[in-house]
Chain A
Amino acid sequence: MRSLMQQPFRTAVLVLVWGWLLFLVLAPNLLVVGASVATRDPVSFISLPLNLDAYRQLFDPLYLEVFLHSLYMAAMTTLVCLLIGYPFAWALSRVPGRRQLLLIFLLIVPFWTNSLVRTYALKLLLATNGLLNSALLGLGWIDEPLKMLYTEGAVVIGLVYLLLPFMILPLYSVFDDLRQELLLASHDLGAGRVATFFHVIVPLTLPGVLAGVMLVLLPAMGLFFVPDILGGSRNLLVGNVIKNQFLDARNWPFGAAASIVLTITMAFLMFAHKLSKQRIGEDGV
């Protein structure tokens, strides 16, 4: 106890960190776990007895379909982000010094505007009488406006737009660490470009790919306002289901159970990510 008193700064930091973890991380999550096994109650939201009905409800074909469709849209988003982000990050890491910093800065600038506002801006672009259609009509490339808004494609475009930096940044970091000497060594040992790419570059950048996938796939299932604004009623994400359960349907146990399944999925992916890092080794000699 005396040592705690003698090191007030250390004590303050420890109390702050543990307090934060206990009250703002552990406690809310336990409440969610608690809610997920409670019974739905129209007045007090949740009540006893405890049961697993909410989890059973998740396997209802209706919700299973929503979940799978959500997963599908999130997977498409991740794939598109990866296809754009991988070469982008590679090129970015090869840009010399100051210009590289500028480009990274430009990548981060959109975060200064609220993502909700940016999604509405996207809506103006994609709308039937929006900028994109007007431009295409004006150029004479199309005869009547394309239906872009309120489609699955619009949701994926919105998600890609919001989440692309989260794919690029971890990829950039692995490409930045990729030592030129290794590529030369591969070339020197008789490998051409294709063999070098698949045998050296891909394995070395895999941790970045996994990190990027993690940072895109899971938020992509949860960003409920994107389908709200761009997707119409058919293209729901798991995030929309959860939001609806809490705010509209007032079915807290079900919403909580859906959240937990999402969290467990995330934990699983993080675990896989960690394993891949261990396999490669820390110092990357």
Chain B
Amino acid sequence: MATPSDLFCHQLIRRFGNHPAVDGISLDVPAGTFFSILGPSGCGKTTLLRLLAGFDRPDEGDIYIRGERMNRVPPNHRPVNMVFQHLALFPTMSVGDNIAYGLKRQRVPAARRRQRVEQVLEQVGLPGLSGRMPSELSGGQRQRVALARCLVLEPTLLLLDEPLGALDLKLREQMKVELKHLQKQFGTTFVYITHDQSEAMVMSDQVAVMKDGRFDQVAAPEELYREPATAFVAGFVGDNNRLRGQVVSVSGDRAQLRLTGGAIVEGRLAAPLEPGASADLYVRPESLVLSDGEVAEGLSRCRASVRTTLFDGANSRVETDIGGEPVFARLPQHGSAPSLSAGDSLQLAWEPDRARVFGAATP
């Protein structure tokens, strides 16, 4: 028999009044995985995390941790620890006492406790700081103490509730990389919730995109980016352009759309659609080729007019207009870029396989 997953949930439902905040979530997280739950605020991800931590109980469904049913187990008896959004370090205790708190509850002898605290501080890169008070630490240091406080207990599962939100941009970028390294180093299974798609993409082995209490798609970051399963995922994960239109013909997994402005464009269908259906074509800025004349055979193309150029180093883009809707295209980094000024007309072209067509959401 295979070893059970670190976390397995089956059809979890949690309602508040008539509103299901978590609406039939199933998930399976193998040991040692960095698993992220990505979704906009209000999608139910915090409720889900509270169910996993044991602060709340599901109305329906089951939670298994390493094969053991956890539904009725209180938080202090679950092999699960949580890094809180505001970290929740105890302000009256030193760093060492904060980290030793859980060990003390497990009645680990004092000498062993001190040894474990020093060891875990070393592992998170804060050796010798056990005597400091949390108020004397920088934001990044507190972050690591909060992690150490959980990791010292060697939980099966570490839950993280957007802990990077309070950090400034530069530190956040740094902590992303560091969290990923720490996860690999400890080998602990991380369940990380965030509304920041870049955090989820950079750190995770698997990402679940959550919307209205359900998972839209669970996949590796790259698959999520290249093969979004729904229009919501396409729009939420990474930058994307949306062109609205109507299906005129379908061949295989390709569909041709007539845009509102009249142009005919082509993309790959995410799900079968009939001709005549309203549909949205999503194409990423880096998939668009700019040209003012000929384009290679086989590319789908569309005329656009330049609104403005946005210089941002390697991430420079041009904002164009197709039938009144803004479309962003990545500016090439080599010398072949056509010179652009507002009002210029140009041609945007793309590989039809790199554009995704979804049925338009019924409003």
A residues sitting closer than 8 Å to B (CB atoms) are 179, 181-182, 184-192, 195, 199-200, 203-204, 279-285
Contacts and interface: CB of A to CB of B under 8 A. Distances in A.
A175 to B, nearest CB: 15
30 contacts: A179-B88, A181-B85, A181-B88, A182-B90, A184-B55, A184-B82, A185-B84, A185-B90, A187-B76, A188-B75, A188-B76, A188-B80, A188-B82, A189-B81, A189-B149, A190-B77, A191-B105, A199-B101, A203-B90, A203-B93, A204-B91, A204-B92, A280-B92, A281-B91, A282-B135, A283-B91, A283-B135, A285-B89, A285-B134, A285-B135
Contacts of A182: 88, 90
Given A185-B88, A189-B105, A195-B105, 7 more contacts: A181-B84, A181-B85, A182-B90, A186-B101, A204-B92, A281-B133, A281-B135
A95 B187 CA distance: 43
A182 to B, nearest CB: 5
B135 A190 contact: no
Interface of B: 53-55, 74-77, 80-82, 84-93, 101-102, 105-106, 133-135, 142, 149-150, 153
Contacts of A280: 91-92
A212 B20 CA distance: 44
Contacts of A283: 91, 135
A203 B92 contact: yes
A192 B88 contact: no
A188 B81 contact: yes
A181 B142 CA distance: 15
Nearest to A192: B76
B101 A285 contact: no
Contacts of A191: 76, 101, 105
A199 to B, nearest CB: 7
A284 B76 contact: no
A188 B53 contact: yes
Given A188-B76, A188-B82, A189-B153, A285 B55 contact: no
Chain A interface, >50% SS class: helix
Contacts of A186: 90, 101
Contacts, number: 78
Nearest to B102: A189
Contacts of A195: 105
Contacts of B55: 184, 187-188
Contacts of B101: 186, 189, 191, 199
A190 B84 contact: no
Contacts of B133: 281
Given A185-B82, A281-B135, A190 B91 contact: no
A181 to B, nearest CB: 4
Contacts of B90: 182, 185-186, 199-200, 203
A192 B76 CA distance: 7
The 4 closest A-B pairs by CB, nearest first: A281-B135, A190-B105, A185-B88, A189-B102
A184 to B, nearest CB: 6
Nearest to B136: A281
A213 B96 CA distance: 31
Q: Which of A184, A189, A190, A284 has the largest count of B CB atoms less than 10 A from its CB? A: A189
A187 B75 CA distance: 6
Contact of A190 (B92, B102, B134): B102
B105 A285 contact: no
Contacts of B74: 187
Nearest to A284: B91
Contacts of B85: 181
A200 B236 CA distance: 40
A129 B18 CA distance: 58
Contacts of B142: 285
A204 B90 CA distance: 9
A191 B105 CA distance: 6
Nearest to B87: A285
B158 to A, nearest CB: 11
A224 to B, nearest CB: 39
A256 to B, nearest CB: 41
A187 to B, nearest CB: 5
A262 to B, nearest CB: 31
B106 A190 contact: yes
Nearest to B150: A189
B86 A190 contact: no
A188 B105 CA distance: 11
Q: Which of B55, B105, B150 has the largest count of A CB atoms less than 10 A from its CB? A: B105
Contacts of A204: 91-92
A200 B90 CA distance: 7
A199 B93 CA distance: 9
Contacts of B54: 188
B82 A190 contact: no
A277 B92 CA distance: 10
A282 B133 CA distance: 12
Contacts of A281: 91, 133-135
Q: Which of A188, A190, A281, A282 has the largest count of B CB atoms less than 10 A from its CB? A: A188
A200 B93 CA distance: 9
B88 A190 contact: no
A282 B149 CA distance: 22
Contacts of A192: 76
A282 B84 CA distance: 21
A184 B84 contact: yes
